């Protein structure tokens, strides 16, 4: 199967590159204007409507095709938001940029960008970028330029790992729990809560009555918070995917889209509680797991909302509903089994079991496991859980 990744670096643009970025931005905005006026969000229709309008721009023709494709993606996202009941602002490209998959070359440590009439502009690649692209079997597919950064997208063909088991991944605010009946591992992410809290406190401490300056400061500290949080998630997800690949276990993810609706104003939670939960990067954790698993050739099973329901409140042994107690914090107990369990561990085990049902159905009859089913009432299944507390996400990566 085809796996795709990207690498990002900084660079210093020349004057002609800045002019090209601004030209591409104007072409995208022209396509957006034409698409909104004619209610066109498909590539074929927008190309027919806007290609003649773009003839006045002096740039290679394939940049015009890329501008149309970029506008189609924005228009499709805007149309989807309208269908879901949101009322987004009219789409408009503010920052200069250039996205293309045609005509460029990577030679002698340089990215050669076509400027027209067989002219190229060279951008030096950093040592990190060159080391990433030095892996055999890679193919550079496209590049994205802004006024200060360069991003290269590359791909390779990977062989899918034949898995014999599944491992459930339960995403929580303070940890990332993964495991099954044999072993459960927790990766501590409580540092992300402290980072978010400090960022909110710093932004709130600025009292200058100038919205532009406050917005600039909030954007600066927001980017720093995102970078630090993503790095912690990167370390945890890297250990998770590596461990699953070494054991030949398919990853199973739950569907928790729409969880933000539980923490809106007026739902009974305090402001601090809503701020913590709405700053939870659960989608970023899923994105990192999916692209790393795809790069390693590891299958990922995405449960539906219906299959996800009740994963943290159902006893893995007997299928009874677990009971909670405010004195037990995140512990739950089963009135039938008399068993005290951590709710995150319970969720990971149940997610792994529900994913295994679908995983076994996709296998040939000769490879499918017999009896791999979720615990149900009246059908107790003996199970031994070995819980291993993983080190914090700052532990060194194993080779």
Q: What is the CA radius of gyration of the chain?
A: 25
Distances (CA, A) of 399 to 238, 239, 242: 11, 10, 9
* Segment 35-55, tens digit of pLDDT: 999 999 899 999 999 988 898
Q: How many CB atoms lie within 10 A of CB 187?
A: 22
Helix (H) or strand (E) holding 46: helix 43-50
Q: Three-state DSSP class for 89?
A: coil
d(CA 340, CA 327): 13
* Segment 169-208, tens digit of pLDDT: 999 999 999 999 888 999 999 999 999 999 999 998 988 8
Task: Tell me the average pLDDT across 375-380.
Answer: 48
| pLDDT score for 363 | 57
Question: Any idea which of 148-152, 230-234, 333-337 has the lowest mean pLDDT?
Answer: 333-337
Residue 286 · residue 302 · CB < 8 Å: no
Tokens of 161: 């790992």
Measuring CA to CA, which residue among 45, 47, 99, 89 is closest to residue 68? 47
Tokens of 226: 């995102």
| pLDDT score for 264 | 81
* Segment 270-280, tens digit of pLDDT: 888 888 888 88
Which segment, 96-100, 331-335, 354-358, is predicted with the most confidence on average? 96-100
Could you tell me the pTM of the whole model? 0.81
Measuring CA to CA, which residue among 346, 332, 390 is closest to residue 181? 346
* Segment 60-106, tens digit of pLDDT: 898 999 999 999 999 999 998 888 888 778 899 999 999 999 999 99
**Is residue 26 scored above 50 in pLDDT?**
yes
d(CA 333, CA 339): 5
d(CA 250, CA 222): 34
pLDDT band for position 379 (50/70/90)?
very low
* Segment 249-290, tens digit of pLDDT: 999 999 888 888 888 887 778 888 888 888 888 899 999 999
**Residues in a beta bridge with 314:** 321
**Is residue 227 scored above 70 in pLDDT?**
yes
pLDDT band for position 398 (50/70/90)?
very low
| pLDDT score for 116 | 83
The order of strands in the sheet holding 339-342 is 323-324, 331-334, 339-342
Question: Any idea which of 138-142, 285-289, 301-305, 392-396 has the lowest mean pLDDT?
Answer: 392-396
Q: Please, is 233 exposed, middle or buried when counting C-beta atoms within 10 Å of its C-beta (0-12, 13-18, 19+)? A: buried
| pLDDT score for 47 | 92
For residue 135, give every residue at least 6 positions away whose Cβ sits within 8 Å of its Cβ, in sequence order, or none: 156
**Is residue 119 scored above 80 in pLDDT?**
yes
Measuring CA to CA, which residue among 302, 292, 299, 362 is closest to residue 160? 299
Task: Tell me the average pLDDT across 154-162.
Answer: 91
d(CA 19, CA 28): 14
For residue 307, give every residue at least 6 positions away whose Cβ sits within 8 Å of its Cβ, in sequence order, or none: 255, 354
Which segment, 78-82, 360-364, 386-390, is predicted with the most confidence on average? 78-82
Tokens of 370: 């017999």
**Is residue 377 scored above 80 in pLDDT?**
no
pLDDT band for position 362 (50/70/90)?
low
Question: Any idea which of 15-24, 107-116, 271-280, 383-392 has the lowest mean pLDDT?
Answer: 383-392
d(CA 190, CA 197): 11
Helix (H) or strand (E) holding 227: helix 211-247
Question: Any idea which of 130-134, 200-204, 393-397 has the lowest mean pLDDT?
Answer: 393-397
Average predicted confidence (pLDDT) for the chain: 86
């Amino acid at each position: 199967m085809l796996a795709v990744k990207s690498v990002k670096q900084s660079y210093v643009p020349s004057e002609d590159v800045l002019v090209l970025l601004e030209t591409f931005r104007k072409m995208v905005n022209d396509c957006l204007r034409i698409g909104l006026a004619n209610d066109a969000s498909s590539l074929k229709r927008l190309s027919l409507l806007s290609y003649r309008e773009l003839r006045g721009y002096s740039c290679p023709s394939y940049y015009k095709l890329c501008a149309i494709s970029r506008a189609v993606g924005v228009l499709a996202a805007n149309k989807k938001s309208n269908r879901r009941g949101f009322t987004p602002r009219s789409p408009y490209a503010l920052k200069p940029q250039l996205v293309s998959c045609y005509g460029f070359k990577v030679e002698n440590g340089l990215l050669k960008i076509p400027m027209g009439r067989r002219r190229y502009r060279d951008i030096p690649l950093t040592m990190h970028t060159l080391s990433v692209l030095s892996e055999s079997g890679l193919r550079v597919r496209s590049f994205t330029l802004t006024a200060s950064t360069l991003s290269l997208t590359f791909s390779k063909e990977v062989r899918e790992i034949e898995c014999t088991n599944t491992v459930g991944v339960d995403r929580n605010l303070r940890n990332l729990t993964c495991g099954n009946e044999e072993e459960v591992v927790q990766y501590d992410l409580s540092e992300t809560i402290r980072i978010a809290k400090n960022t909110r406190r710093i932004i709130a401490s600025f009292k200058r009555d100038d919205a532009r300056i406050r917005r600039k400061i909030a954007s600066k500290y927001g980017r720093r918070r995102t970078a630090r949080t993503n790095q912690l998630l990167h370390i945890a997800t890297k250990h998770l995917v590596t461990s699953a690949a070494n054991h030949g276990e398919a990853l199973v993810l739950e569907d928790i889209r729409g969880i933000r609706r539980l923490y809106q104003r007026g739902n009974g939670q305090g402001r601090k509680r809503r701020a913590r939960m709405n700053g939870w990067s659960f989608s970023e954790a899923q994105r990192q797991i999916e692209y790393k698993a795809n790069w390693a050739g590891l299958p990922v099973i995405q449960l539906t909302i219906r299959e996800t329901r009740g994963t943290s409140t159902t006893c893995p042994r007997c299928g009874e509903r677990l009971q909670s107690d405010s004195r037990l914090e995140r512990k739950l107990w089963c009135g039938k089994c008399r068993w005290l369990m951590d709710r995150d561990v319970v969720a990971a085990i149940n997610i792994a079991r529900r994913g295994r049902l679908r995983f076994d159905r996709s296998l040939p009859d000769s490879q499918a496991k017999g009896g791999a089913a979720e615990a149900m009432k009246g059908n107790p299944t003996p199970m031994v859980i070995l819980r291993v507390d993983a080190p914090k996400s700052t532990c060194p990566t194993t080779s």
